[in-house]
């Protein structure tokens, strides 16, 4: 029987699977920026204001949790790159990707309910 190597999402290399999954989330929600005029990426100041509380609270919290050994990522699926203080870069990417995807989804639903349809103007 052949040995299974890697997983489909990681393209055969499990090492950065967590980062690849977060990247896939960003890529899959990116069309919402254009189809439903979400305007998340086109308003960088507003995006920064939305990300700031998440980063300000959870990055220090997670850094302390990683240092204390209360939280860890499986080294088989993470990049292994750590920021100063010991926080894995994968975890920082999580705190950026998840809110961005959430904002894109929220704005798309809001605009869709207001009558914006993909690649068409508002409903008359």
pLDDT in tens, 2-44: 444 555 544 556 888 999 999 999 999 999 998 888 899 999 9
Task: Answer whether residue 48 is part of any domain.
Answer: yes
Task: Answer whether residue 124 is part of any domain.
Answer: no
Task: Answer whether residue 47 is part of any domain.
Answer: yes
Total domains, the chain? 1
Stated pTM of the model: 0.79
Nearest 5°: phi and psi at 36? -110, 15
Task: Answer whether residue 122 is part of any domain.
Answer: no
What is the span of the domain harbouring residue 35?
14-113
**Pseudo-torsion of CA 78, 84, 85, 91, nearest 10°?**
-30
Task: Answer whether residue 4 is part of any domain.
Answer: no
* Contacts of residue 45, Cβ cutoff 8 Å, sequence gap at least 6: none
Task: Answer whether residue 97 is part of any domain.
Answer: yes
pLDDT tens per residue across span 102-111? 999 999 999 8
Residue 118 has pLDDT above 80, yes or no: no
State both tokens at 75: 């080294």
């Amino acid at each position: 029987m052949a040995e299974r190597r890697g997983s489909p999402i990681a393209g055969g290399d499990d090492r950065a699977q967590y980062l690849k999954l977060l990247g896939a989330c960003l890529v899959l929600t990116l069309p919402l920026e254009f189809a439903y005029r979400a305007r998340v990426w086109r308003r960088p100041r507003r995006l920064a204001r939305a990300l700031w509380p998440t980063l300000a609270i959870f990055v220090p919290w997670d850094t302390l949790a990683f240092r204390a050994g209360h939280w860890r990522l499986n080294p088989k699926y993470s990049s292994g790159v750590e920021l100063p203080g010991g926080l894995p870069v994968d975890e920082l990417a999580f705190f950026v990707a998840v809110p961005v995807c959430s904002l894109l989804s929220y704005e798309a639903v809001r605009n869709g309910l207001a009558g914006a349809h993909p690649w068409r103007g508002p409903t008359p």
